[in-house]
Amino acid sequence: MPVSSSLDRPILRLALPSLIASLSVPLIGIADTALVGHLPEVALMGAVSVASVIFDVLYWGFGFFRMGTTSLVAQYFGSGDREASARVLMQSMWVAVGIGVGLILLHRTIADLGFAAASPGDEVELWGRRYFAIRILGAPFVLVTYVLIGFFRGCADAVSPLWMTLAINVVNLTGDVALIHGVWGAPRMGVEGAACASVLANVAGALLGAVILAGRYRAYLKLRGALDLSNARRLIATNFHLFGRTLCLLFAQFYLLRTVSGLGEVALAAHAVLWQVWSLVSYGVDGFAHAAETLVGNALGSRKAAEAVALARRCMVWGVALGGLCGVVFYFGLADIGALFTDHVDVVAQVASLAVLLSLTQPINGLVYVLDGVLIGANDVGYLFVAMVAVAFGVFLPTVTWIGPVWPGLWGAWTAYSVLMVGRFFVLYGRFRGRRWVRFLAT
């Protein structure tokens, strides 16, 4: 890949820390799944898998707290409007705390809906509910962390989210080892220990973010109007469109889980491994998507449209390259990766059977994730919502409905999801080429 130092330098300065920081969300589920996967009962692995996907759906649904904050703050930061940036931060923070507490109060209803939709076996559901009831206590801290990360990235600061990620993962991994298997004098709690470790990790990440905010960004908190909750129309519209876009994507992901849940415990466990690996790669490539959000937003905030387009193109090149590299790793090493997650040979065999399919889709996935970032940075979120509705219900749903009877098993289910990603590529790249996404926000 030819090097363009003038573009690559700012991209890599943001993308590399963001790449590591982006792994925060899936690594909690990956650590829980991997360590529980070495317990004797395969049902426990399925329980954590189903509950983790429910949390993915739940938290990804509220991912607009991060994306929406970055989308607006990036342009305000680029234009030099600190007061508008601070206003977005505080408005988002209050809403995040309120919704987080609400999720705890409604946790039984959420669990009922989630497990009813997933339709796992009785033993899987029993242990999955125990895991869910504990891990949901971290919800307010997760959403506050989203807002803080979105704010920091909008201010072209990728290092603070990295420190938060390190805190989250160190606490989670340490807690998993101690509480799942009962080492270092801790009680042996199994699945419930994994959930406790996740909550402790969420608290650690949010507290560190608050410390960074109070120190490095103290001037923003002192600005006049920082606590003003009026004039929130743009934030509400941005978050509404991002929420709708994410719900459509999560509908497809949950439909995929429901399809796989009917294939038996072994297929469900294999899907758990595949989903965690897929998530790990997607969040890794998201490092360049997040760089695109920040750089495109900052450039448009400074009224530099040509620079925004050039940076977007370069981020896309990096996304394809990283996706291709991950595809090569999948092709040659997916079986070995699966063995890291579980000792069950039949589960590893099903994981390895999808090596070709997953390896071929990774370059397209990398481009899709970066294009998402470009349009979020440009605050072209209305189009993202409409496009996702069209692809989820006009492409994925007909495909998975048709392919199930014709091509049953994990291959059929994951082929349908790959078709979804191809559909996203066409609608997003078409928008990028048309340049209607190039827009400037007025403060």
Span 341-361, average pLDDT: 87
d(CA 12, CA 70): 18
- Give Cα separations from 197 to 32, 91, 176, 235 (angstroms): 9, 30, 6, 33
- What would the pLDDT profile of 360-377 be if each residue is shown by its tens digit? 999 999 999 999 999 999
- What would the pLDDT profile of 425-441 be if each residue is shown by its tens digit? 999 999 999 888 887 76
Residues 6+ apart with CB under 8 A from 295: 10, 11, 14, 156, 308, 311, 315, 377
Sign of the dihedral through C-alpha 319, 383, 391, 276: positive
Span 315-342, average pLDDT: 90
> Is pLDDT of 3 > 80?
no
When mean pLDDT is compared over 126-130, 257-261, 412-416, the highest value belongs to: 412-416
Sheet strands (E) in 30-157:
none
Sign of the dihedral through C-alpha 138, 143, 146, 148: negative
Identify the pLDDT of residue 153. Answer: 95
Single-letter code of the amino acid located at 325: L
- What would the pLDDT profile of 93-121 be if each residue is shown by its tens digit? 989 999 999 999 999 999 998 888 777 77
